[in-house]
Amino acid sequence: MDFSVIINELPLYFEGLLLTAQLVPFSLILGFLAAIPVAIMRLSRNPLVNYPAFAFTYFFRGTPLLVQLFLLYAGVGQLDGYSELTKEFDFLKGAYFFALLAFFLNTTAYTAEIFRGAMAETPFGEIEAAKACGMSKWMILRRITIPSALRRALPAYSNEVIFMLHGSALASTITLVDLTGAARIVQSRYYAPFEAFITAGVFYFVLTFLLVWAFRLVEKHFNKHLNRREETIIEVVT
């Protein structure tokens, strides 16, 4: 290992880190917000509501993120009328927008499926109690189903967040310089694959563990009521 290469190129890695640290939270926040309505649609018994949501999640969960990225970046840009649109809206141009779009759609599909599972598992008694209190359908959704489902979905959702972080490495395939993109530049400049990719790997590793740790705190906070109480010791008198 030649550490001078790594030290020389650290600014490049930090630039890449900055991009990764933008793409991942942006797509996660947007995906989280969009996933809740999609999950509610998936629970509907009306096929006109359910099927579009099902088709969306099935497509985005059943195909590789790389193909989705290429389909959007290379494919949509080629469609008629798109270049007209970019003249009006400048931000639609370029790889950044498409990476964000692909990550957003992908994480929405996965998150929606996680939330759907958690909502479907809401204990029947909770909903019954809410009905008995005279709450309307939307009120039950807002006050009972969603809050309790989100809490139960936390462990699965933390996995999805880590998958998104790892998936964001694909942004480097459409010319963006994220952490992986930085490593690929270093590799092509010095032909030093170990230095280049292990450095990026260490960055990702640290990010992953920060996320795992943060989610553990969040879970501890929101799922306090689910923890087992400390067992009372019963002394047996003989």
Partner 1 sequence: MLDLEGYGYGIIVEGAGVTLFVALSSLFIAVLLGMTAALAKLSNSPTAQAIAGIYTTVIRGVPDLVLMLLIFFGGQIFINNLPDNLLELLLYIGEKTDQGDALKISMAPYLDWGYIDVNPMIAGILTIGFIFGAYMGETFRGAILAVDRGMLEAGTAYGMSKIQITRRILIPQMMRHALPGFGNNWLVLMKATALVSIIGLSDMVRRAGLAAGATREPFKYYLVVALVFLFFTTLSIWFLKWAERRYSVGVRRMS
- What residues line the site for partner 1 (CB under 8 A)? 58-59, 61-68, 70-71, 74-76, 78-79, 165-170, 172-173, 180, 183-184, 187, 193-194, 197-198, 200-201, 204-205, 208-209
Nearer to partner 1, 70 or 222 (CB): 70
Nearer to partner 1, 33 or 74 (CB): 74
Q: Whole-number minimum distance, CB 71 to partner 1, in Å?
A: 4
Tokens of 132: 């008995």
Q: Whole-number minimum distance, CB 202 to partner 1, in Å?
A: 9
- Residue 178 DSSP class: S
Query: How many angstroms separate the CA atoms of 140 and 213, rounded?
Result: 32
Q: Whole-number minimum distance, CB 236 to partner 1, in Å?
A: 27
Count Cβ atoms below 10 Å from residue 90 Cβ, excluding itself.
9
Q: Whole-number minimum distance, CB 29 to partner 1, in Å?
A: 21
Tokens of 36: 């809740």
Q: Is 57 exposed, middle or buried (0-12, 13-18, 19+ CB in 10 A)?
A: buried
- Give the C-alpha distances (Å, rounded to integers) separating 117 from 87, 107, 156: 42, 15, 10
Nearer to partner 1, 29 or 67 (CB): 67
Nearer to partner 1, 145 or 180 (CB): 180
Query: How many angstroms separate the CA atoms of 14 and 235, rounded?
Result: 59
Q: Are residues 151 and 215 in contact, defined by beta-carbon separation less than 8 angstroms?
A: no
With tokens 């996660």, the residue in question is 28
Q: Whole-number minimum distance, CB 75 to partner 1, in Å?
A: 3
Q: Whole-number minimum distance, CB 61 to partner 1, in Å?
A: 8
Nearer to partner 1, 31 or 167 (CB): 167
Instruction: Say which amino acid occupies 92.
Output: L
Residue 153's contacts (CB-CB under 8 Å, 6 or more residues apart) are: 114, 115, 117, 118
Q: Whole-number minimum distance, CB 117 to partner 1, in Å?
A: 13
Nearer to partner 1, 44 or 63 (CB): 63
Nearer to partner 1, 26 or 190 (CB): 190
Residue 65's contacts (CB-CB under 8 Å, 6 or more residues apart) are: 102, 103, 106, 167, 170
